Amino acid sequence: MEGATAMYKRKLRDLEVSAIGYGCMGLSMGYGAVPERRDAIRMINEAYELGCTFFDTAEIYGMGSNEELVGEALRPIRDQVVIATKIMYEKSDEASSTEKMLQQIRGRVDASLKRLGTDRIDLYYQHRVNKNIPVEEIAYCMGELIKEGKILGWGQSQATEDEIRRAHAVTPLTAIQSEYSIMERMFERDVIPTCEELGIGFVPFSPLASGFLSGKIQADTEFVGVDARRVITRFSKENRLANQPLLDLLTRFAALKNATPAQISLAWMLHKKDFIVPIPGSRNFERIQENLGAADVELTDDEYNQIENELAKIEIHGNRTDEDIAKLRDLL
């Protein structure tokens, strides 16, 4: 594999990554038909060639097949990249003590390591904070796994400020991965400021609002099969029409900067804080190039402020929730 194009780096606590990462879930599930395996591997390699060194997966993506895919694609360049994966942990009846819980989580880590074909996971997230398990117990387990060298750092997903502070006090967090985009800004109130205060990275998933901010989805676009956009409310026909003012704003700035609406969306995010590292996903070579190219689109302070002022006047219609996505099963 040829040497990668340089992209500027950012820090997630002590973990250095490319300013934009690659969310690999869509290569195995989530948004309709998935690419052939050889094409998916090529896309991951293409992302690396374009300067991406940060790749995100999870044990539940494709029931482990996404980890296997990512591991196979990155094996030749393992020491040049950062791999993040996740555990969706439900405490079982057998985990009557924290030590037994650690034993269970260690087993899950070992399974992910085997699928990824690596000896360590750079960043290991709790995929969703389980409200029935004290975050301090999970944080302790993660600290032990760090001591063992199985993981290098850990994080939470969709965590609250209180959950972040309590977990961080036990084992310092490397990053928080949560939904964040121009269309979903709830974490600006307390989570992102808390990350800044504590030196924790923030990794937005769905930074392009599941593709809505690309501007390539029309009011009459149909979603079929196993495609989460069938149940994400911002993709209802009426909400697609109602959110047109947002796309008009992005299109206007895209023309000004010789960029695309998606690139403006990512550039806006990168301008906001230097510890924010979005992980857009794509199943298309051109979109991967477009998304990673956003690192070269630099907004001035004045341009950023203009966008912020215009956004304050725009009402966003619809959202994306785990509860809605769970409804997809009922449609299949």
What's 189's DSSP letter?
T
Q: Measure the CA–CA gap between 99 and 57, rounded to whole angstroms.
A: 27
List all residues 6 or more positions away from 138 whose beta carbon is below 8 Å from its beta carbon: 89, 105, 126, 130, 167
Query: Any catalytic annotation for residue 61?
Result: yes
- Check: CB of residue 92 under 8 Å from CB of residue 70: no
Between CA 91 and CA 149, with CA 119 as vertex, the angle to 5 degrees is: 65
Of 202, 289, 287, 311, the C-alpha closest to 31 is 287
Q: For residues 169 and 244, what is the distance between their CA atoms, to the nearest angstrom? A: 43
Phi and psi at 98, nearest 5°, equal -65, -35
Strands of the chain (E only): list them.
Answer: 9-12, 15-18, 22-23, 54-56, 82-87, 123-126, 154-157, 175-179, 201-205
Is the separation of the CB atoms in 138 and 126 below 8 Å?
Answer: yes
Please report, for residues 174, 204, 218, 305, the alpha-carbon distance to residue 168 in angstroms, rounded to integers and kept in the order given. 9, 19, 43, 32
Catalytic residue among 22, 31, 48, 61: 61
Residue type, 159: A
* Catalytic residue ranges: 61
